[in-house]
Structure 1
């Protein structure tokens, strides 16, 4: 199998780099300065076990630079707001022996949120969901850092909308030999909905800074309560926190690495890099959508969705929302006592 990683940022770069190190054929797909750095210097991958090394992983700017074959696996690792455009670019590309990528090749959605698989299934016949628990950072062109140890991440994998097959098992085996745990699950979307709940703090961290202290923890609790309420109203099941902890165990511990600063999660990193967009519409925004569909109020998720989008559009610094504006997101009765 050859892995074509569409989006070689923090997640895609780590997965692609680890697969390449373990002897698999990998192509990274990137753009702009990141692509230039990958082509010039290779992928700079930093992990606790081996520090920084430069990996000569082939890199391209798009599907027009590749000839696709029947053993290729497309691994989509971009933010959801970029998925539709890229799916359209790749689906119609010819595959050696006949047919197109959309007809013949497996496409794995290694992304947060739950919308990517549905978008992909419009254009690709063979779609796989991947629930990504992989603490990683991409702030500089050509470089990614993954701070998990002894494994880099836990990547639940399964067919979309549900089920298992030999392809999922083969991908899982390759990942398991590349510093990942990769459990194959017929109900992978349940794991992705559970991850969605844990990602609701991304917008809060992006606009308000590290989630610590009474106010931010109170906001995080409200985000989670709204998320759990809409999933219950929609009849969507997911593994509880105890099952998630048991699955991860101590296989991925965060390890500080000299010269590497994690800073924040994926939404924080989008603001720090000044990309001009953010994934809030598909994280907190997913809760807002489900709330509207099922008649459940989601005021805090909605407010943070709007704030995160404004921060991205206006180029504001991550974590710079004043405390009083954060406090205004909660009703007075829900504020920590010291802030009432």
Structure 2
């Protein structure tokens, strides 16, 4: 079985590297300077325990496929459709992404779709380099069929992930875990806009409380933070790496790279969408969605907004 990792950034690069270290056939798909560096020098994976350059095959676009290939999609959600469009629809697709919309988008064209709930603290800010701060494992990954269930392939993927540096878990209710992760990811926009500042937790809490009210009204099940903590235990802590100060999560990294886009439409925007469908107001998440999108479009750096400004915008929206 060959794993084709589409989007070899922080998450995709770490998953691909760990699968490669576990003895599996891996192909990384990347673009631009990142692909050039991977093709020329290999992938440099930096962890709390090691700094290793891996000679993993890489390509900058679709390649001829064969029986046994599995696509692991690790792009941002806004790039899902474009990233999948060149690939044969008979291949199984694993959505190793934040948010809950990717699996449904993939299922329009691909018959065999798997969700993956990703707990994996990593950064990709330089071409060819991925820093993974998770310890003692780089990440924990829940895998299951979409919309539910576990089959032989899901079990095999979970087993393969667990061979080196990751914890793989096959679960029939992967989307319940992904909705729980969605609630946690609502703070990504706050971190991207403000950085890590005193008082930001209040805004994050308001966004999450709002989201749980929406999901409860919609009848959508989600894993709780207590469940997540129990399952994760001490297997995926975050350790500093000397010479590689950790900046922030995926949305923070999008602003730091000046990519021009951000996944907030599929995180806070998912809650806004569900709120509109079910008649539940979502002013906090709407402001976070709007302001993070604006920061990405204008290529503003992380932490370009003050907490007082964000609070005022939210209060204004709540009053309308």
TM-score band, normalised by the shorter chain?
A: over 0.9
Partner of 2:9: 9
Q: Deviations over 1:43-62 (max 9, x none)?
A: 01001122x21110011011
Partner of 1:56: 55
Specify the SS of the correspondent of 1:277: coil
The answer to whether the aligner puts 1:304 opposite 2:297 as a matched pair is no
1:202: Cα distance to partner? 0.5
1:322: Cα distance to partner? 2.4
Partner of 2:75: 78
Contact 1:197–1:228 under 8 Å retained in 2: yes
Contact 1:112–1:131 under 8 Å retained in 2: yes
Partner of 2:66: 69
The answer to whether the aligner puts 1:265 opposite 2:252 as a matched pair is no
Specify the SS of the correspondent of 1:23: coil
Q: Deviations over 1:59-78 (max 9, x none)?
A: 10111xx2211111100000
The answer to whether the aligner puts 1:201 opposite 2:184 as a matched pair is no
1:330: Cα distance to partner? 4.1
Specify the SS of the correspondent of 1:19: helix
The answer to whether the aligner puts 1:140 opposite 2:139 as a matched pair is no
TM-score norm. by structure 1 comes to: 0.91
Contact 1:128–1:157 under 8 Å retained in 2: yes
Q: Please give the residue correspondences for 1:215-226 in structure 2 after superposition, counting only pairs within 5 Å.
A: 216-226=200-210
Structure 2: 5+ residue runs without aligned partners?
A: none
The answer to whether the aligner puts 1:121 opposite 2:120 as a matched pair is no
Q: Provide the rounded CA distance (Å) in 1 between the counterparts of 2:280 and 2:182.
A: 17
Q: Provide the rounded CA distance (Å) in 2 between the counterparts of 1:324 and 1:131.
A: 33
| Runs of 4+ in structure 1 over 6 Å off | none
Q: Provide the rounded CA distance (Å) in 1 between the counterparts of 2:284 and 2:222.
A: 22
TM-score norm. by structure 2 comes to: 0.97
Q: Deviations over 1:112-151 (max 9, x none)?
A: 0000000000111000000000000000001001001111
Q: Provide the rounded CA distance (Å) in 1 between the counterparts of 2:241 and 2:154.
A: 32
1:25: Cα distance to partner? 0.6
Partner of 2:299: 315
Larger CA Rg, structure 1 vs 2: 1
Partner of 1:158: 144
The answer to whether the aligner puts 1:184 opposite 2:170 as a matched pair is yes
Match of 2:275 among 287, 291, 294: 291
Q: Provide the rounded CA distance (Å) in 2 between the counterparts of 1:187 and 1:279.
A: 24
Contact 2:287–2:314 under 8 Å retained in 1: no
Q: Deviations over 1:218-269 (max 9, x none)?
A: 1111100111011001100112222111100000111110111220000000
Specify the SS of the correspondent of 2:94: strand
Q: Provide the rounded CA distance (Å) in 1 between the counterparts of 2:315 and 2:105.
A: 36
Specify the SS of the correspondent of 1:239: coil
Contact 1:87–1:123 under 8 Å retained in 2: no
C-alpha RMSD of matched pairs (Å): 1.2
| Number of equivalent positions | 317
Q: Provide the rounded CA distance (Å) in 2 between the counterparts of 1:292 and 1:15.
A: 35
1:331: Cα distance to partner? 3.3
Q: Provide the rounded CA distance (Å) in 2 between the counterparts of 1:162 and 1:324.
A: 42
1:106: Cα distance to partner? 1.2
Q: Provide the rounded CA distance (Å) in 1 between the counterparts of 2:230 and 2:268.
A: 26
